[in-house]
Chains A and B, each alone.
Chain A
Amino acid sequence: MELFTPEFGLVFWMFVAFALLYLLLAKTAWPFIIKSMEERAELIDKGVAYAQEAKAQLDSAQAQADQLLTQARQQQADILREADKMRNQIIENAKGEAAVEAKKVSDAAHVAIEQARKESEKQLRQEVGEIALSIAEKVLRKNISDDQAQRTLVEQYLSEVKPAK
């Protein structure tokens, strides 16, 4: 049964070989390999998480942009409506103001006309008086007896012909 009896030389060399192999690999290779593998696994995990986060962020950004766009559209519509309203109001205001101004101008014109009329009436009256007087003078020059009495008479007549207002 030599298969079942361990040979001392083989045990000895097996131990030596295994010890050398273990010392060499434990010192130089295994910790480094394990560390590198774990670091890479971590890196990949992080990368995946990052990508997922980025995707989520992109999706939310898209939604946000859509929302902003809708908001902007609404704002635009609001502004347009506002502007329209304002324009109408301005026009309305301008119209009113113009009417007031026009009324003012026409009022002033009325006053001026009235004044002018009064002035001219006064002047006319004076002129007519003078003309009448001169006429009367001319008429009466021939038979002037009492200049003062004549003038009062003329004045009296003129008052009578004063047009009814």
Chain B
Amino acid sequence: MKKVITATVVFALIALAAIGYHRASAHAGGTAPEVPNAKEIIYEHLGDAYGWELPFNHDLRIPLPIIVKGNSGWHCFLSSRLENGATYEGFRINHGEQYNNKVVEVASDGSISRPLDLSITKNVAAIFVCALIVTLIVLSVKRWYVRNGFKAPRGGTAALEFTVDYVYSDTIRPILGKHAPKYAPYLLTVFFFILTMNLMGLIVIFPGGANLTGNIAVTMTLAVITFFVINLSGTREYWKEIFWPDVPMALKCPIPMMPLIEILGMFTKPIALMIRLFANMMGGHMVVLVLMLLIFIFTAMFNVYVGAATSVFSLAFTLFMLALDTLVSFIQAYVFTILATIFISMALVEPHHEKE
């Protein structure tokens, strides 16, 4: 009962604050609210950027290096030079149908082209931040063993060790058996990297806030690496089952139907990994953004009181969605790892003897 009262009071305060803020801005000569461009806002939040927005400020950004190779060779400068549509060394950030929010090279005749862009964007910087975090936490676990030997770890190290044990002893080892030690470093790295990127994406302010695993480039890289790991560890039996499977001759001889399906399967497996992680994480972020935008859309469409009422529901649902996304972060990292493990174990297949 006490909790219910507390929640009601909190939500009432949120609604009142929204109305109060609106009144204040109206007094300050603010214009009537217009319906926000939801698509643009969502894409901006989900997409990449040159420079990393500081918390609670839409204009202050941490400048990040832009590295591009255009027609005039390599260029390297800070993203602050391109702020507010400025052109620097013949480059600017384009806004338009083509190359939206990307660095483009402006030729002398005014035409634009996309250079080879290896900039340290917000996402790239976030990837390195996540890699650094993973390195630190994993090395902290290692340090525990170096220092304390066989003592049971406590606190954070124990939680990490539990996770490592859960992924390794309960997933990788039962599936891969004697091959487990060979593939465990790769799979554990994948798991912790994805988990860290997922969770960092949920933190909306500076060191986090980059939608990494909801970006198809990131999941694609992971999927391609996994594709190579799977197929480079394929045994003779694995390749035989792809090109000459144990099916009636009619299915493989005149028209190689089964081999075609099997070859297709080689690619659909990592593609499924890529899409699953990407869609789950991006979907979660998108729902949260839409719920937040609803407040402003309803305020603009109806009036501030409707918006205030919406803010209560939106916040409640957003809180629920973020809690769900925390769970999804773990589940998706785990699912990626377990599926990669299963695919690898399928590639390590040994010839099975016909059952009598």
Chain B interface, number of residues (Cβ within 8 angstroms): 48
B215 touches A10 (CB 8 A): yes
A30 touches B128 (CB 8 A): no
**Nearest CB on A from B314, distance (A):** 23
Given A3-B46, A43-B150; A30-B188 close (CB under 8 Å): yes
Chain A residue nearest to B146 in the complex (CB)? A32
> Contact check: which of A15, A24, A30, A43 meets B184 at CB < 8 Å?
A30
> Contact check: which of B189, B216, B218 meets A4 at CB < 8 Å?
B216
Assess whether B185 is interfacial by the CB under 8 Å rule.
Answer: yes
Taking CB atoms and an 8 Å cut-off, the chain A residues in 105-152 that contact chain B are none
Assess whether A31 is interfacial by the CB under 8 Å rule.
Answer: yes
**Nearest CB on A from B333, distance (A):** 14
Interface string of B112-145 (1 = CB under 8 A from A): 0000111111011001100100110011011001
| Cα(A13)–Cα(B119), bound, Å | 9
> Contact check: which of B119, B161, B216, B225 meets A6 at CB < 8 Å?
B216
**Nearest CB on A from B49, distance (A):** 12
> Contact check: which of B141, B145, B185 meets A26 at CB < 8 Å?
B185
Given A25-B135, A29-B138, A29-B142; A12-B118 close (CB under 8 Å): yes
Assess whether A28 is interfacial by the CB under 8 Å rule.
Answer: yes
Given A7-B48, A10-B124, A37-B165; A21-B117 close (CB under 8 Å): no
Q: What are the residues of chain A within 8 A of B139 when measuring CB–CB?
A: 28-29
A14 touches B189 (CB 8 A): no
B185 touches A18 (CB 8 A): no
**Nearest CB on B from A148, distance (A):** 137
Q: What are the residues of chain A within 8 A of B124 when measuring CB–CB?
A: 9-10, 13-14, 17
**Nearest CB on B from A97, distance (A):** 79
Q: What are the residues of chain B within 8 A of A32 when measuring CB–CB?
A: 142, 145-146
Q: What are the residues of chain B within 8 A of A13 when measuring CB–CB?
A: 118, 120, 124, 127-128
| Cα(A13)–Cα(B165), bound, Å | 30
Assess whether B181 is interfacial by the CB under 8 Å rule.
Answer: yes
Taking CB atoms and an 8 Å cut-off, the chain A residues in 15-47 that contact chain B are 15, 17-18, 20-22, 24-26, 28-34, 36-37, 39-41, 43
A3 touches B216 (CB 8 A): yes
Chain B residue nearest to A7 in the complex (CB)? B217
Assess whether B186 is interfacial by the CB under 8 Å rule.
Answer: yes
**Nearest CB on A from B165, distance (A):** 6
B189 touches A26 (CB 8 A): yes
| Cα(A13)–Cα(B123), bound, Å | 9
Given A4-B216, A10-B123, A40-B150; A22-B118 close (CB under 8 Å): no
Q: What are the residues of chain A within 8 A of B349 when measuring CB–CB?
A: none
Q: What are the residues of chain A within 8 A of B146 when measuring CB–CB?
A: 32
Given A11-B221, A29-B141; A3-B282 close (CB under 8 Å): yes
B186 touches A22 (CB 8 A): yes
Which residue, of A5, A29, A34, has the highest number of chain B Cβ atoms within 10 A? A29
Chain B residue nearest to A12 in the complex (CB)? B118
Given A3-B282, A9-B117; A30-B47 close (CB under 8 Å): no
Q: What are the residues of chain B within 8 A of A7 when measuring CB–CB?
A: 48, 117, 217
Q: What are the residues of chain B within 8 A of A3 when measuring CB–CB?
A: 43, 46-47, 215-216, 282
B189 touches A22 (CB 8 A): yes
Assess whether B164 is interfacial by the CB under 8 Å rule.
Answer: yes
Assess whether B220 is interfacial by the CB under 8 Å rule.
Answer: yes
Assess whether B176 is interfacial by the CB under 8 Å rule.
Answer: no
Assess whether B78 is interfacial by the CB under 8 Å rule.
Answer: no
Given A2-B100, A9-B121; A36-B145 close (CB under 8 Å): yes
Taking CB atoms and an 8 Å cut-off, the chain B residues in 170-197 that contact chain A are 181, 184-186, 188-189, 193
Q: Mind listing 8 A-B residue pairs with CB under 8 Å?
A: A8-B116, A14-B217, A14-B221, A17-B131, A25-B135, A30-B188, A33-B138, A37-B164
Question: B residues within 8 Å of A by Cβ?
Answer: 43, 46-48, 100-101, 116-121, 123-124, 127-128, 131, 134-135, 138-139, 141-142, 145-146, 150, 152, 161, 164-165, 168-169, 181, 184-186, 188-189, 193, 215-218, 220-222, 225, 282
Question: A residues within 8 Å of B by Cβ?
Answer: 2-15, 17-18, 20-22, 24-26, 28-34, 36-37, 39-41, 43
Closest 6 CB pairs of A and B: A26-B185, A6-B217, A10-B217, A30-B185, A36-B145, A14-B221
In addition to A14-B221, A25-B185, 19 A-B residue pairs with Cβ atoms within 8 Å of each other are: A6-B216, A8-B116, A9-B121, A10-B123, A13-B124, A13-B127, A14-B127, A14-B217, A14-B222, A17-B131, A18-B225, A22-B186, A26-B186, A26-B189, A30-B184, A30-B189, A33-B161, A34-B168, A41-B169
